Chain A
């Protein structure tokens, strides 16, 4: 039976910071940045990290699929929110997966995404089971660094296993070379990097060909038969030079999404692979490589199943869910690059009792409420006594998930008084179709967007609060307008 990709999904945060704005702020100091000042980079909101973005990519990937089939969750990143609390474990919990699964974080290298993919394919083939690979990065970059310009935030997810695959895994090869083009030790937040020309000539153009040639030899596929070549490198022309040297057709070189997204660190190879699958046709051979202290190379062949693969947002859809950000200061503030006066209101202690969290984990992380078996009233949170005034039965509620339900706005406000890292704070009463409601935070509202009573909303997994005193963060779900609500407003405004 074929092993390969059963499903894919992606996630790109809504805001796209204009690189011209970054350059405008820095060219007095670093005029060389002007050369990179084209296009835009995806920028995570203040309440997004690699766990929340991974969850969104995973939800996208699992559209219409049974999560009970998942036997393992691997998360690949170089920017995990937690150094010691398994991040893949958070993702698995949020997705309400059963506890009898393998969870694992893969990190420490820009090829963590492809290494995780390679290992997931191997273990799924060996154990004949299904693995969910999520990969996300939100690299911390110093102000005025080239990386600040070329990096983007986002995530991708792949469901890997055997059966009706949409892309068959033809083979993998890894070259492990301790080539230190950049590094970040345990005491530092930012990368230290070496000269780009050296990285290109001695790194990309020597180490990657070794891995790719070995893969082609192993699989018996000719370079000229490659349909899509996903090589995640921001540096212009490198992927093209590599393709030319290897004999891969020039038109097979995949868009590195530098113009409209930026390079998403360790996740970018998989992001490009998902993007390639969104545009592939059955029979296409897709070569994906990940570079970092060596190189992973993997080869896939799209199957007939791809033609009937159900639609989802994916990378393409999320790239279209876009808001232009022209305020570089907001990026600095969200990423801790500027010492802002946040006011005394920001001092509120956001302590989370770990006992409280564990006891209420299904409510807070999974967004599970209750369904009264006596009167069929869905309600949030789940409670001992039914909230329906005509029922009031005790002990009748079953777990009832709300995360994937659509709701409508009953009331809302834009609050400029309460502390928010991105004021105003939007929240309102959301009412779920079929029952249940909640006064809830609303995320990803652009300043020119107008909420309306009755507007349809969907849920997204986000950071609720950062506890900076203790280095903890707690997560919850927030409402955001559905794609239909966003589209209808664009239509009304004549856009």
Chain B
């Protein structure tokens, strides 16, 4: 009988590079930036790391294959290194590798690194690329915004929400993230925006306008994990431990079977139910105190708050407009600016979310620090398209909560 991951692994140290258009830095430079902060925070020597995982999404744009670019950039001492990839959830995947390695007892200390260097394509937005030789024969000519935009059409049709009301709630999601991002010195986008600006922005993929889409950024984030016992033996106090890690992958039901209506993430619902159970959470709306969700698009965040069982189905619009998820609301969501404004260097994003949870729980989030320190936080990292995707959930919290 699986006992789950709860409180078996603690965060020893974390680091995160500045996110943004890092024109003068290679992926290797970004990894080192995150690593130097993380290892300094952990207070260990490089030789104490037993194994490392590297998460990247579009490695052909920067580091190339394998985890060798990680071990070379960090000059790791011939330890086990592994590259993982699961669409935009690759960062969480590297974290999962490190956490499970420690939980299994195979490692005392493990490192997870996520990195992406996207601003080498010559154009804005994610790289346009092939999807596999057979897929390319029949997959629609779809971009990320076009795929996620369809959540909005299906959602309005299902719940009878007017397109205008939905668009306003989506606008609020983005305005809130820009407000939060403006207080984050590492964030890619630090400007505040208004509803007028969002509503009148150029259309990218109907009904998603420019401000409904997250930034495409360069960046890296790094975590070093160990057991709570080892952390304490090193003198660490107020530990942040892992409460749950759950992942769910589409199996074709959404894409090929007529039982899915296109308005929600089936994977998120499956993963969320398991994650709450693993963490011992029975009322997430009351018990979770911080969310960082995969707001690649405003509509993604909106439906995700329902899929994570925080807002009732069809009611996310109300919670959002009520300010429930604002930085000073009941449960802040994207208090660091989220993918929207902190930025979205694909492989780094999952780890960046956990980085923010870790800072907030340690009271180290600076100007954006939540007055009442969060105790339980959920990071929601998504990869792929609404109709076929990976959802990776990580719940972290203060030890003993």
Contact = CB atoms under 8 A, between A and B. Distances in A.
Interface of A: 343-345, 348-350, 352-353, 356-357, 360, 363-364, 377, 379-381, 383, 387-389, 410-420, 424-425, 427-429, 431, 435-441, 453-454, 464-465, 474, 476
A380 B258 CA distance: 11
A436 B141 contact: no
A383 B150 CA distance: 26
Contact of B134 (A360, A379, A425): A360
B2 interface: no
B145 A356 contact: no
Contact of B205 (A363, A414, A438): A414
B142 A350 contact: no
6 contacts: A387-B253, A412-B150, A427-B142, A428-B153, A431-B258, A465-B136
A350 B129 CA distance: 10
Contacts of A415: 141-143, 145-146, 149, 204-206
Contact of A411 (B130, B137, B153, B257): B153
A427 B140 contact: yes
Interface stretch (B7-15, B120-128, B284-292, B372-380): B120-128
B139 interface: yes
Contacts of A383: 252
A344 B123 contact: yes
Interface in B96-142: 121-123, 125, 128-130, 133-134, 136-142
Contacts of B387: 429, 439
B256 A348 contact: no
A474 B136 CA distance: 10
Interface in B151-187: 151, 153-154, 157
Given A427-B146, A454-B157, A389 B141 contact: no
Contact of B142 (A344, A389, A439, A464): A439
A67 B296 CA distance: 48
A97 B147 CA distance: 35
Contact of A413 (B137, B138, B157, B206): B206
- Please indicate which of the listed interface residues B140, B157, B258 has the most CB atoms of chain A within 10 Å of its own CB: B140
Contact of B130 (A348, A413, A436): A348
B134 A356 contact: yes
B73 interface: no
B141 A418 contact: yes
B252 A429 contact: no
A441 B142 CA distance: 8
The 5 closest A-B pairs by CB, nearest first: A415-B146, A411-B150, A427-B140, A418-B143, A453-B157
Interface string B84-99: 0000000000000000
B127 to A, nearest CB: 9
A391 to B, nearest CB: 10
Given A348-B129, A410-B261, A437-B257, A418 B142 contact: yes
A417 B205 contact: yes
B203 A416 contact: yes
Given A413-B205, A413-B206, 11 more contacts: A344-B128, A352-B136, A379-B257, A387-B253, A413-B147, A415-B142, A418-B142, A428-B150, A439-B140, A441-B141, A476-B137
A476 B140 CA distance: 10
Contacts of B371: none
A351 to B, nearest CB: 8
Contacts of B123: 343-345
B204 A416 contact: yes
Contact of A476 (B138, B154, B252): B138
Contacts of B129: 348
Contacts of B76: none
B154 A411 contact: yes
B253 A429 contact: no
Contacts of A345: 123, 128
B262 interface: yes
B257 A389 contact: yes
Contact of B137 (A357, A387, A417): A357
A437 B149 contact: no
A427 B144 CA distance: 12
A441 B157 CA distance: 20
Given A356-B134, A440-B140, A453-B157, A414 B256 contact: no
Contacts of A411: 150-151, 153-154, 157, 262
Contacts of A379: 256-257
B398 to A, nearest CB: 38
Nearest to B158: A453
B259 interface: yes
A352 B135 CA distance: 11
B310 interface: no
B197 to A, nearest CB: 18
B255 interface: yes
B204 A425 contact: no
A349 B129 CA distance: 8
A451 B256 CA distance: 21
Given A356-B133, A389-B253, A425 B128 contact: no
A453 B257 contact: no
Residue among A356, A383, A411 with the highest chain B CB neighbour number at 10 A: A411
Contacts of A416: 202-205
Contacts of B137: 352, 356-357, 360, 363-364, 464, 474, 476
Nearest to A378: B258
B121 A344 contact: yes
A488 to B, nearest CB: 17
| Most-contacted residue by chain A among B130, B206, B385 (CB, 10 A) | B206
Nearest to A391: B257
Contacts of A381: 138, 256
B150 A388 contact: no
Interface centre among B208, B253, B258 (most CB of A within 10 A): B258
B10 to A, nearest CB: 38
Q: Which of B128, B137, B385 has the most CB of A within 10 A?
A: B137
A389 to B, nearest CB: 6
A435 B251 CA distance: 17
Contact of A418 (B146, B251, B257): B146
A298 B142 CA distance: 49
A268 B97 CA distance: 66
Nearest to A343: B123
A410 B142 contact: no
Select the residue from A353, A428, A439 with max chain B CB neighbours within 10 A: A439
A209 B146 CA distance: 59
A453 B133 CA distance: 30
A147 B100 CA distance: 70
Contacts of A353: 133
A454 B255 CA distance: 17
A68 B209 CA distance: 50
A128 to B, nearest CB: 39
A436 B138 contact: no
Contacts of A414: 203, 205-206
Given A413-B149, A424-B206, A453-B153, A438 B141 contact: no
Interface in B171-224: 202-206, 208
A162 B121 CA distance: 61
Nearest to B203: A416
B258 A437 contact: yes
A148 to B, nearest CB: 29
A216 B141 CA distance: 54
A343 B124 CA distance: 11
Contacts of B208: 413
Contacts of B147: 413, 439
A473 to B, nearest CB: 12
Contacts of B255: 437-439
A360 B135 CA distance: 10
Contacts of A417: 125, 143, 145-146, 204-205
Nearest to A478: B140
Given A350-B136, A417-B205, A435 B258 contact: yes
Contacts of A360: 134, 137
Given A389-B259, A427-B146, A420 B154 contact: no
